Chains A and B, each alone.
Chain A
């Protein structure tokens, strides 16, 4: 089906920025939930010895995301793109068990990169750019550089059936 229009979805997503600040001065972010997990799994590593309580909220936040996903996909057709793109070509079906290793390795890059860059799309691209933070502008540019390289040069090589 067709997606919810960007001019409705975008502002709704952006609204989480002031909401989180006004509730308990939290800055939108998602990937620190993995740092919380790390602090339980590798408690002796310096990086994971930190005031993890401040990031607990992200664990509940991602649990909410997961709940929404399980509830919606089990009851509706929401969220699934139409079978063809604007040019009438069939969309590639990437969600296939044959590609599990690709998703695994790709996600290691996501986890590693998010921590090294000190934030992900939520924390840098949305939250950080909403503050016009230089660190977030730099990071967002390189998110896109990495994404362009992957999409144009790596995806065609590895997603083969």
Chain B
């Protein structure tokens, strides 16, 4: 039941990323060339909507369906991780034209590229897990 809800939310999320072409290499490339407002409008309005949702949840101290406080917790500042990890991620984003969710979309469009990309992201995750203790926070 829980799984079905997240599956459905994923289908909705994926459908919007596809219909808006936000997953596509050309749209990301265009964004980093400042050639189109599309991605900026999309990300900006997504953040604005999310912020409004978080504000309402905090303001009215809303509970989740299972009765716990719904308010989110901020991720802690990790200076090196946020900067260096952010840079690494950004390099990958610019080159592949995809962030994490779009990797699963590219897989449906072009399965070979999707497969090696998902494998790559998994390997990157494993490398981080193995060397994490040697990296500054």
Contact = CB atoms under 8 A, between A and B. Distances in A.
A112 B14 contact: no
Contact of A9 (B20, B28, B72, B104): B20
B64 A22 contact: yes
Given A16-B9, A78-B18, A103-B120, A113 B106 contact: no
Given A25-B70, A27-B72, A79-B23, A102 B95 contact: yes
Interface residues of B, number: 118
Q: Interface size bucket, A side? A: 35 or more
Contacts of A112: 85, 88-89, 124-125, 127-128
- Where chain B touches its partner, the secondary structure class is helix
Contacts of A28: 50
B104 A65 contact: yes
5 contacts: A6-B45, A13-B46, A104-B119, A115-B128, A133-B75
Given A57-B2, A62-B101, A143-B90, A11 B45 contact: yes
A149 B136 CA distance: 23
Nearest to A18: B53
Nearest to A23: B65
B32 A151 contact: yes
Given A24-B2, A138-B86, A113 B91 contact: yes
A95 B51 contact: no
Given A27-B72, A92-B26, A155-B29, A69 B108 contact: yes
